[in-house]
Structures are given as C-alpha cells and as structure tokens.
Amino acid sequence: MTAGFQLDALDLAALLCSRVCHDVINPVGAIVNGLEVLEDEDDASMKAFALDLIKKSSRNASARLQFARIAFGAAGSAGASIDLGDAENVARGFIQDEKVTLSWSAPRQFMPKNKVKLLLNLLVVATTTIPRGGSINAKVTGDPEAPTFEVVSLGGNSRIPPGLISLLAGEPENGTLDSHLIQPYYTGLIARAAGMSVAIETIDGGVRITAAPV
C-alpha cells in the first residue's frame, strides 16, 4: 500500500543531510575544542586531557560517518550487495558506547544493499526505544535474498516513542517532518523499497522490532 503522505526528493535529501550533520557535529566540535586547548594551555595535564579528547572524538566522528555511508548513503552502485560483516563493524562503532551495548547474530554473507541499509536503520530506531541505555540484540535469519530481521532492545524506561509507528508507515502524525523525525520515516521507505514489512511491539523489559519479506 502506498502511503498518502509524499515527501519531495529534495526535502528528503536535505533532511537526511541535516540528520548526518546532527550526528557528527558534537564529536567534530569536541575535536575543535581540544585543538584550542592544545594551542592555548601550557599545563601538561590539560594538554594530555585535550589530546585524549581529540583521539576519542576523532574515532567517534569516523565511526558515525562510516555508519552513515552505508545506512544513508549509496554505499556502492545500484543493486550492489554489502557484506554483513562490514555492516556489523560500522554498527558497533556507531552504537556501542557507555550507555548501549550491541549483540549481533548474523551469518557472514553478502546481502542486497537495501536490506542491509534497513537493518542498520532498524538499529538506530531501536536506540530511541531505550533512552536511558541498555542492550540491543540484532538477529538475521533466512536466505540473503529474503531474510528476516529481529532487533530487540532492553533497558530501563523502554518504550515505543510517540509517532514512531506512523513514521515507519510513511504517515507522520502532524503531516510534517524535520531532521529529528526523518530517520524512522526513511527506515519505512527503505523497508518498502526492499520488499519488507516492519512491525514493532513492546515486550517484557523492552521493545521488539521485526522485519520480514512482504
């Protein structure tokens, strides 16, 4: 079924770019601050702190950009396949931190690009269901051409964010989108392009998201 809400291609591109910029602005800003400290401070301990900040923030920015390249970008020519092992690596770099841990259960195989993009975007959606942190378990089963994804998030105060189900279905509740809402909307677009349907439900202590062939 085609969603009634339609987003102009230029608006989609602009909102996705805003989303990527939002993801990398903090670590890039931290790098700039660290460099300023190195230039202005003579204290050895402050210089060491600044250098450590630069290193951590550089890794963070790099991980977020590598993730965005696959999750939001072209990541190869049309119809290309992506190694699930590469997807796991960028997912761990993007998601796993002091608040959220990622468990990944998937065979090392190539899968159509849009299906891998969908899986990565489902992981991002899952992070929004555990605002206080917790764990995310991603599982891939089935044939590479017709896989099934299960993403389970567990954590304190877990919930399905308001409007999320409508966004995944391509129908934002107020009829408008911004850079904060574009990612789940885009996830729904990718799912439909990949010939898969997405379902989300609350479970004991968390939220389960599944995607299966239509």
Find where tokens 């004991």 sit.
204
Contact present, 46 and 37 (Cβ < 8 Å): yes
- Name the β-bridge partners of 200: 209
Token pair for 46: 């402050």
In angstroms, the CA 43 to CA 31 distance is 18
pLDDT tens digit sequence for 142-174: 999 999 999 999 998 999 999 999 999 999 998
* Average pLDDT score over residue span 126-153: 96
Helices 84-95 & 44-71 angle (0-180, nearest 10): 140
Tallying the residues shown for the chain, one arrives at 214
Model confidence at 1, pLDDT cuts 50, 70, 90, reads: very low
pLDDT tens for each residue of 49-99:
999 999 999 999 999 999 999 999 876 555 689 999 999 999 999 987 779
Structural domains of the chain sorted by starting position, each given as residue range(s) with its CATH number in brackets: 9-18+78-213 (3.30.565.10)
**Angle at 182 (CA atoms; ends 179, 183), nearest 5 degrees:** 110
β-strand pairing of 81-83 with 110-112 = antiparallel
d(CA 77, CA 4): 30
Task: Reduce the DSSP state of residue 205 to 3 states and report it.
Answer: coil
Q: Give residue-wise pLDDT tens across range 180-197.
A: 999 999 999 999 999 999
Q: Is the pTM of this model over 0.95?
A: no
Instruction: Tell me the mean pLDDT in the region 204-210.
Output: 97
The region, left, alpha or beta by phi > 0 then psi within -120 to 50, assigned to residue 86 is: alpha
